Amino acid sequence: MVELLPRSFRSRLQSGSLRRDCGVGFWRPWSGGVLRQRQAFARRIVDSLFIFILAAALSCATPRELPDDTAIEWLSATGDDCSGKEAQPCYQKGLALITSNTSTTDRIAGIALLHRACRAKLDDACQTLERRFKEPKRLSGRIPTYPTGALLKGVQGTIFARCITTEKGTLRDCAVIAPRTKQEQEIITNTELGVEILSALSTWRFTPAALDSQPCETEFIYKVTYQLDRSAR
| Residues present in the chain in total | 233
Lowest mean pLDDT among 4-13, 129-138, 141-150: 4-13
DSSP string across 96-108: HHTSTTS-HHHHH
93 close to 110: Cβ distance less than 8 angstroms:
yes
Full-model pTM: 0.64
Per-residue model confidence (pLDDT) at position 227: 78
Per-residue model confidence (pLDDT) at position 158: 83
pLDDT in tens, 158-169: 888 999 999 999
Per-residue pLDDT band at 126 (split at 50, 70, 90):
very high
DSSP string across 140-178: E-PPPEE-HHHHHHT--EEEEEEEEE-TTS-EEEEEEPP
- Does residue 10 register a pLDDT over 80? no
- Does residue 93 register a pLDDT over 80? yes
3-class state of residue 179 by DSSP = coil
* Residues 205-216 as b or e (16 or more Cβ within 10 Å = b): ebebbbbeeebb
pLDDT in tens, 192-226: 888 889 999 999 999 999 999 999 999 888 888 88
Per-residue model confidence (pLDDT) at position 15: 59
pLDDT in tens, 29-67: 445 566 676 667 667 776 666 554 544 444 444 445 555
Per-residue model confidence (pLDDT) at position 11: 61
Per-residue pLDDT band at 71 (split at 50, 70, 90):
very low
The side-by-side arrangement of strands in the sheet containing 214-216 is 133-134, 209-211, 214-216
Tell how strand 218-226 and strand 214-216 pair up. unpaired
Closest CA to 140 of 73, 203, 59, 81: 203
What's the whole-number mean pLDDT along residues 149-154? 79
The conformation of residue 139, written as its DSSP 8-state character, comes to E
Helices 87-97 & 104-119 angle (0-180, nearest 10): 150
- Catalogue all structural domains in the chain, each as residue range(s) with its CATH number: 64-227 (3.30.2420.10)
Averaged pLDDT of the chain:
76
